[in-house]
């Protein structure tokens, strides 16, 4: 069984859990592969749960410490509703991704925020980031930047645009690393104890998926 001692241990090791969520075809796996592995994957239909790690050095962080963020990708799992509430509760940050060229994707991502926000205790919630992907494509005329920014700010989310294909805008992810470490340093309390099932294949970083 797993409890909050795992969260404490992870923070001592400067390891953070970030979940990438978003509507189908918003580019979650492409974002992770392009940002962390430096390669844009060939579009493939599959599902599963997978994570990749990225280390952030002291060039952008306080106290000359490096941290590791594990980027978890659900790989179309939202289509089949195979993820559980327990999986989200130990997350430190959430990237809520949508396709800038598809208004329906934007609307669905807003609905997803409400569903995700309801999962967390009000005393401890992960940091949320609203990210518009596919900035290399023409932006849907119904997606207004000022409206998107207003929505993000109303939910206490930071908003930025990226292109997984062109690998542009990725420098903004440095802010997530900075925010996570800053929050960890300033925290004086921990969330209520939560008992979770042990992750399967805990020594591996891939679950039924690939890039």
Confidence of residue 157 (pLDDT cuts 50, 70, 90): very high
SS (H, E, C) 106-136: HHHHHHHHHHHHCCCCCCCCCEEEEEEECCC
Sheet containing strand 158-161, strands side by side: 158-161, 127-133, 93-99, 15-21, 67-73, 49-56, 206-207
Instruction: Between 75 and 97, name the one with better pLDDT.
Output: 97
pLDDT at 181: 84
Query: 183 pLDDT exceeds 80?
Result: yes
pLDDT at 195: 38
pLDDT at 211: 35
Q: Please tell me the distance from the alpha carbon of residue 108 to that of residue 103, in angstroms, as a whole number.
A: 9
Instruction: Between 82 and 105, name the one with better pLDDT.
Output: 105
Confidence of residue 38 (pLDDT cuts 50, 70, 90): confident
CATH code, 5-207: 3.40.50.300
Q: What is the DSSP string of the chain?
A: -B-THHHHHHHHTTEEEEEEE-STTS-HHHHHIIIIIS-PPPP-----EEEEEEEE-TTSSGGG--EEEEEEE-TTHHHHT---HHHHHT-SEEEEEEETT-HHHHHHHHHHHHHHHTTS-TT---EEEEEEE-TTSPPPTT--HHHHHHHHHHTT-EEEE-BTTTTBSGGGGHHHHHHHHHHHHH----PPP--BPPPTTTT-SEES---
Instruction: Between 41 and 144, name the one with better pLDDT.
Output: 144
Confidence of residue 108 (pLDDT cuts 50, 70, 90): very high
pLDDT at 192: 44
pLDDT at 197: 39
Query: 177 pLDDT exceeds 70?
Result: yes
pLDDT at 191: 47
CB 21 within 8 A of CB 29: no
- The per-residue pLDDT of the chain, averaged, comes to 77
**What are the residue boundaries of the structural domains of the chain, listed by start?**
5-207
């Amino acid at each position: 069984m797993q409890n909050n001692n795992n969260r404490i241990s992870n923070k001592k090791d400067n390891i953070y859990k970030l979940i990438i969520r978003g509507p189908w075809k918003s580019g979650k796996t492409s974002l992770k592969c392009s940002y962390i592995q430096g390669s844009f994957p060939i579009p493939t239909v599959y599902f599963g749960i997978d994570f990749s790690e990225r280390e952030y050095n002291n060039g952008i962080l306080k106290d000359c410490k490096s941290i590791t963020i594990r980027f978890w990708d659900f790989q179309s799992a939202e289509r089949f509703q195979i993820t559980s509430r327990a999986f989200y509760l130990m997350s430190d940050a959430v990237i809520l991704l949508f396709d800038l060229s598809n208004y329906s994707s934007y609307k669905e991502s807003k609905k997803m925020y409400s569903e995700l926000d309801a999962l967390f205790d009000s005393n401890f919630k992960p940091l949320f980031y609203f990210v518009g992907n596919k900035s290399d494509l023409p932006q849907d005329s119904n997606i207004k930047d000022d409206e998107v920014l207003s929505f993000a700010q109303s939910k206490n989310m930071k908003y930025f645009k990226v292109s997984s294909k062109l690998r542009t805008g990725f420098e903004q992810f440095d802010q997530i690393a900075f925010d996570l470490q800053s929050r960890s340093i300033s925290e004086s309390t921990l969330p209520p104890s939560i008992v979770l099932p042990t992750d399967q294949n805990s020594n591996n970083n891939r679950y039924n998926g690939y890039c």
